[in-house]
Every structure is written in C-alpha cells, then in structure tokens.
Amino acid sequence: MTVPITHYMILSGLVFLIGVVGVLIRRNIIIILLSIELMLNATNINFVAFSSYLGNVAGQVFVFFALTVAAAEVAVGLAIIIALYRHHSSINVDDFQLLKW
C-alpha cells in the first residue's frame, strides 16, 4: 500500500502553515526560531516526497544539505539569543530595538 503524494503535500502544507502562524503571532524569539525550523522541515517533506515519487535521489541529497544548514542556523541563532538575553534579560521580540534606525 503506497501513500499518495497529495497526502504528503497536505501534511507539508499544514506544517508550513503552523510555522507561518508561529512566526507571525508569537513574540518569543525561541518560538519564532522553532517556527522557522518547522517551515524548513515542511519543505524537506516536499523534497523527500517528490524524490521518492520521481525515483530520483536528488531531493534527498538536497534535504541532507538543507539539514546541515539548518543545524548551523540553529547554532548561530541560539548564540544570538543568549547574547541578547544576557544584555536585556528578556527574549521577547518587542523588547529589542537594537536594529531599528
């Protein structure tokens, strides 16, 4: 029994939508970072689904590289969050006005 590709597309769309809602609604930097990771994982689901559907490993290789970039992004993002927390004692996005003109 094989699962149709539309089910993977629906799952990916829902995961991406949850990530977008998390970025737009939440004000906690860690939650925003996790929501961005959800959006990245939704695209990875699409890559793997289409790679399997087409019988090509290029999508799976691309997911491997995307996951390594995501790991580096998390490391840098958490370092920035720790630095901001030490400076402001808060991780609420509304408290940071450093990057405004």
User: What would the 3-class secondary structure string for the chain be?
Assistant: CCCCHHHHHHHHHHHHHHHHHHHHHCCEHHHHHHHHHHHHHHHHHHHHHHHHHHCCCHHHHHHHHHHHHHHHHHHHHHHHHHHHHHHHCCCEHHHCCCCCC
Say yes or no to pLDDT of 93 above 90. Answer: no
> For residue 25, what pLDDT is reported?
93
Domain assignment present for residue 28? The answer is yes
pLDDT in tens, 70-85: 999 889 988 988 888 8
CA separation for the pair 94, 14 (Å, rounded): 27
Model pTM? 0.82
What is the count of structural domains for the chain?
A: 1
Residue 36 domain boundaries: 5-95
Is the residue at 72 inside a domain? Answer: yes
- Each residue's pLDDT tens digit, 26-56: 888 889 889 999 999 999 999 999 999 999 9
Residue 43: inside a domain: yes
Residue 98: its pLDDT value, please?
A: 61
Per-residue confidence band for 13, with pLDDT thresholds at 50, 70 and 90: very high
Supply the CATH number for residue 86's domain. Answer: 1.10.287.3510
Q: Is residue 88 part of a domain?
A: yes
Q: Is residue 35 part of a domain?
A: yes
